[in-house]
Structure 1
Amino acid sequence: MFKARMTAGVSILAAAAASTLLLGCSASVEVKKSTAPKLSADKLSSTLSEKLAAATGQPKPDISCPEDLVGKVGTTTRCKLTADDGSTLGVTVKVTSVSGDQIHYDFKADDKASPAAN
């Protein structure tokens, strides 16, 4: 008889994804404007980590974003949440509006985590 088992990391990722999906998360950050405002990849990563921790009641997850988020409606980027066991979960960020120097965006975690690389 086969018995499926989830690691603690995958369980946390699944909980984070489920909570994020249920909450319909969004955020806004004020940034300095040159042409189109930009939110640095580091600031985006830390903001997402804080928002996901608050939404799930779990410690801040390790999130990395590959690029700055340009403050233009419809712009998207993909960030990666990495659990302690090495499994990963994608997080999509989409700019919903820009008010002066403030970038407003929604984010959504993927439904399914990717297992850790061997």
Structure 2
Amino acid sequence: MTMARLSAATWSLSAIAAGVLLVGCSASVNVGESEKKLSAEKLSGIVAEKLAATTGQPKPNITCPEDLVAKVGNTTRCKLTADDGSTLGVSVKVSSVDGDQINFDIKADDTASPAAN
């Protein structure tokens, strides 16, 4: 029975990864004049919203470890954690900066990592 639950969670993560890879996902955010970065907390929320909108799945649990600095080419790695504890890496890369607006691309990894025992 545990196996079925794990498979369903893994399937959900795979569906998210496939949806993001097939459709592509990007976002843009305005930041204040004095701050040319997007906080890790705000980035986590935006990535979760974009993944949910792109895949048609519920908003996932996303954590990003650091702020995203507004410089083209900068990247960070966020983590999507499923209810069963399995995880999926998500890359975020700044594609352009226009004044206070940061545009970035979001790409989920192809495969999930199983939950730690």
User: TM-score normalised by the shorter chain: which range applies?
Assistant: over 0.9
Q: Secondary structure at the match of 1:52?
A: helix
Q: Which residue number in structure 2 is paired with residue 72 of structure 1?
A: 71
**d(CA) in 2 for partners of 1:109, 1:28:** 17
Distance across 2 between alignment mates of 1:8 and 1:85: 10
The residue number in structure 1 matching 2:82 is 83
| Distance (whole Å) between structure 1 residues aligned to residue 110 and residue 33 of structure 2 | 34
Q: Deviations over 1:94-118 (max 9, x none)?
A: 0000011000000100000000000
Structure 1-normalised TM-score?
0.92
Q: TM-score scaled by structure 2? A: 0.93
Structure 1 residues not aligned, in runs of 5+: none
> In the alignment, residue 16 of structure 1 is paired with which amino acid?
I
Structure 2 stretches lacking a partner, 5+ long: none
Note the aligned Cα RMSD (angstroms).
1.4
Matches within 5 A, 1:1-118: 7-34=7-34, 37-118=36-117
Separation (CA, whole Å) in 2 of partners of 1:79 and 1:108: 10
The share of aligned pairs that are identical, in percent, is 69
Q: More helix by proportion, 1 or 2?
A: 2
Runs of 4 or more consecutive aligned structure 1 residues displaced over 6 Å after TM superposition = none
Q: 3-state DSSP class of the match of 2:91?
A: strand
**Aligned residue identity for 1:73:** V
Instruction: State the alpha-carbon separation in 1 of the partners of residues 24 and 94 from structure 2.
Output: 14
What are the Cα deviations for residues 14-61 of structure 1, in whole angstroms up to 9, with x where unaligned? 0000000011211100011326x1000011000010011111111100
The 2-side partners of 1:76 and 1:38 are apart by 12
Query: Quick one: distance in 2 between partners of 1:9 and 1:101?
Result: 38
